Structure 1
Amino acid sequence: MRTTRARRPAPAAAVGAAALALALTGCSGGGQSTSGHGPISITFLQKQGDQGYFVDEAAGAKAKARELGVELTVVNVGNDRDRSLAEAKKAIDNKTSGLIAVVPDPSAGPELVALTRQAGLPLLSADDQICADYTDPSACFTKGLVPRVGFNGATMGAAVGERAATEYTKAGWKAADTWTLSIGNSDIPVCRDRMNAAVDAFSVHAGAVLKTAKVWTENTVEDAHHRTAYTLAPKPGVKHWVVWGCNDEDTEGGIQALTEAGFGPDNIIGMGIGAYLACKDWLPGKPAAMRAALLLKGSEVGALAVQQMVDRLKDGKELPHETTVPATMVDPSNWQASGAVCT
């Protein structure tokens, strides 16, 4: 047991100063309300801004900002961790009212929180979780997690694993010559959640534990394609593959590598997350290795993030700790009616 020496009560002035500092900094997603202090301007830092999902997310955020009559600046920081911090500093210097961030790397979390706390700005994360105290959000205490709007990774992964098990059972494949291929960025907690939950759900619903090849990628089609091709080399004798990833890009890249290795659509069960690329495989109406995908409407996340930030800035409402948006499973039979947009 750790013991500490008793301390004398702090002077009243010191207590007052501490209380003022807490009021200004707030919790990990806090900050001052700007109600009554001029027009509201929000900065939305977004990774991979040219990816279909994030294009949709930015469009939803802009539409909501127009509806609410606030100024919104969307900044594409790509996959550059340092640029996300540099753009945050620039936004603060330009007197932005609040910051919404989809960080390329969650390790930027503590620095980003420190910047916004010092400036007295509210911070809201979208999609990926970030922590005020640790570079890895999975090690974070609940109170240190930045308020977030997005999807639940474990729920998504479980849905993917369950649907993959249904397709596997329908195909009549045998565990002896079937492997699963799990593809994604292991440094991103939500990716780990999705992929791990998919493995667990598949095993339960398929009634079989298959050998799994894991491929760590940058969540792009090109990288998933290249790294999967390398992984396939020492896997002779495998006749069938069940493939899932952190997003559509990972699964598409994996399917491309498998196709080049001689596996046709009848020997691949691909499961996407996003549906913005998966639906392209269904356009010709031919058999596709991509059997189904979770439809993620980025526009809903973007719009909800802006709404919550405006509520915080205008009315002083606390940012909810976690707001999850539902995802829908789509396939060649229903994707067009679902409103999925191919990009």
Structure 2
Amino acid sequence: MKKLIGAAVASGILTSLATLSIATAADTTPLTIAYIQKQGDQQYFVDEATGAKDEAKALGNVKVDVVNVQMDANAAISAMNVMVGQKVNGIAIVVPDQQIGPQVIDMANGASIPLVSSDDPIKSGTGSVAPFVGFDGYQMGYKVGQAAGMFYKTAGWAPDTTRVAAAYEQQLSVCADRQKGEEEGFAAAAGTVPTIIKIGTDNSVVDAQNRTSAVVTANPQIKHWVVWGCNDENETGAVTALTNAGMTPDGIIGVGLGAYLTCKDWQAGQTSGNKAALFISGHDVGSAAVKALVESIRNKTPLPAKTIATTTIVTPANWKAVMGSCS
């Protein structure tokens, strides 16, 4: 009887070891993850791609193929076709246009490829939201507006001689969410809100600068400006336009969103209208997107509905301690 029990135990141990061996092998199966990005040459998205590749290296046997489609929705669909044809194991995508969401989701589902939307959420044709990795747009905006409101209150500016330049791509839902948060965060911190001039842009530095220049020209009586936007490109572009128009740094309260451009003035020791920024780490988002996909594939578990990264307000005084560097 003892021999039979011993044999059974030994058999059980061998079975467990075999199962463990299979699981371990499955955990290191080579995988390829496609990361399709809009505006891939912007610093935030460069950092995001780096984060994705760093996470892939840490996880082991994971390759990340990064595709920059700029702001071309057709290029994004073409990239999806290529990646589906190559039978990649997972796809993360930052869509240049949220309207292609249903097509992107259908393509991934049709090929049984796990998909996460990164930075900008997308919906299917039936309205269901794809698994998302990024930031809470409203909360980001709220922190930016709150910081701007505190600066404004401390400055003691009068509402009638102040304007808010809010620069953002108005067709993009994440930008609308951030703008709403900025307005409400500012109101909560400052109590009163000067007239807000909403400036429609394509979210680039050049467009924000050009369009803000026209707004400043049309409002020569305004002595003080508060500036915020959907991203650092909008905010720094608008601040540059104000500076070029003759506004001095003490007449501008600019609060960026990203910190990857606002930090350049601080790193150079320059006094400017860029008073603060919300630091968002593209590296963290890219890393989180790849981690979520790989864990879901290897563990055969559903992707989390939302993976939200943290954010921090930085200023000339603390940016280096928080960010480490300004690339």
| TM-score normalised per structure 2 | 0.89
| 1:83 and 2:83 aligned | no
- Alpha-carbon distance in structure 1 between the residues aligned to 2:103 and 2:28: 27
Percent identity between matched residues is: 41
Residue of structure 1 equivalent to 2:41: 50
Q: Specify the code of the residue in structure 1 equivalent to 2:237.
A: G
Alignment map for 1:273-292 (pairs within 5 Å): 273-292=257-276
Deviation at 1:276, TM superposition (A): 0.7
1:233, distance to aligned residue in structure 2 (A)? 2.7
Question: Does 2:83 match 1:99?
Answer: no
1:293 to partner: Cα distance? 0.3
- Given the alignment, which residue of 163, 187, 193 partners 1:209? 193
Please say if 1:59 is aligned against 2:43.
no
The corresponding residue for 1:17 is none
Paired residue type of 2:217: A
Partner residue, 2:296:
312
Are 1:249 and 2:225 counterparts?
no
Counterparts of 1:328 and 1:201, CA distance in 2 = 15
Distance 1:54 1:340, change over 3 A: farther
Q: Does 1:264 align with 2:256?
A: no
1:73 deviation in Å?
0.6
Contact 2:267 2:326 in 1 (8 A): no
Any conservation in 1 of the 2:32–2:64 contact (CA below 8 Å)? Answer: yes
Aligned runs of 1:47-196 on 2, under 5 Å?
47-68=38-59, 69-133=61-125, 140=127, 144-196=128-180
Instruction: Give, in whole Å, the separation in 2 of the partners of 1:156 and 1:146.
Output: 21
Residues 303-329 of structure 1, C-alpha deviation per residue, up to 9 Å, x if partnerless? 111011001111111111111111011
What one-letter code is carried by the residue in structure 1 that aligns with 2:68? N
CA distance in 1, matches of 2:110, 2:27: 21
Q: Rg: which structure is higher?
A: 2
The answer as to whether partners of 2:40 and 2:68 remain within 8 angstroms in 1 is: yes
Deviation at 1:36, TM superposition (A): 9.0
Most deviating of 228-237 and 304-313:
228-237
Matched with 1:234 is 218
Deviation at residue 66 of structure 1 after TM alignment: 1.2
Letter in 2 for 1:56: D
Where structure 2 has 5 or more consecutive residues not aligned to the other structure, the ranges are 1-25
Deviation of the 1:339 alpha carbon: 2.2
Question: Which residue in 2 is equivalent to 1:333?
Answer: 317
* Whole-angstrom distance in 2 between the partners of 1:340 and 1:169: 30
Q: C-alpha offsets along residues 153-174 of structure 1, whole Å, 9 cap, x if unaligned?
A: 1101111111101101111111
- 3-state DSSP of counterpart to 1:194: helix
Q: Distance in 2 between matches of 1:310 and 1:284?
A: 40
Give deviations 1:225-247, integer Å, cap 9, x for gaps. Answer: 11111222321311100000011
- Mapped partners of 2:180, 2:303: distance in 1: 29
Q: Tell me how far 1:214 sits from its aligned partner.
A: 0.7
Report how many residues are paired: 301
Q: Output the amino acid matched with 2:69.
A: V
Paired position in structure 2 for 1:19: none
- Could you tell me how far apart the structure 2 residues matched to 1:160 and 1:184 are? 14
Displacement, 1:127? 0.7
Query: What amino acid maps onto 2:296 in structure 1?
Result: R
What secondary structure is seen at the aligned counterpart in 2 of 1:309? helix
* SS class of match (1:342): coil
Distance, in Å, in 1 between the alignment partners of 2:95 and 2:180 is 22
Q: One-letter code of the match for 1:66?
A: K
What is the DSSP-based 3-state SS (H/G/I as helix, E as strand, rest coil) of the residue aligned with 1:125?
A: strand
Q: Quote the RMSD (CA, aligned, Å).
A: 1.5
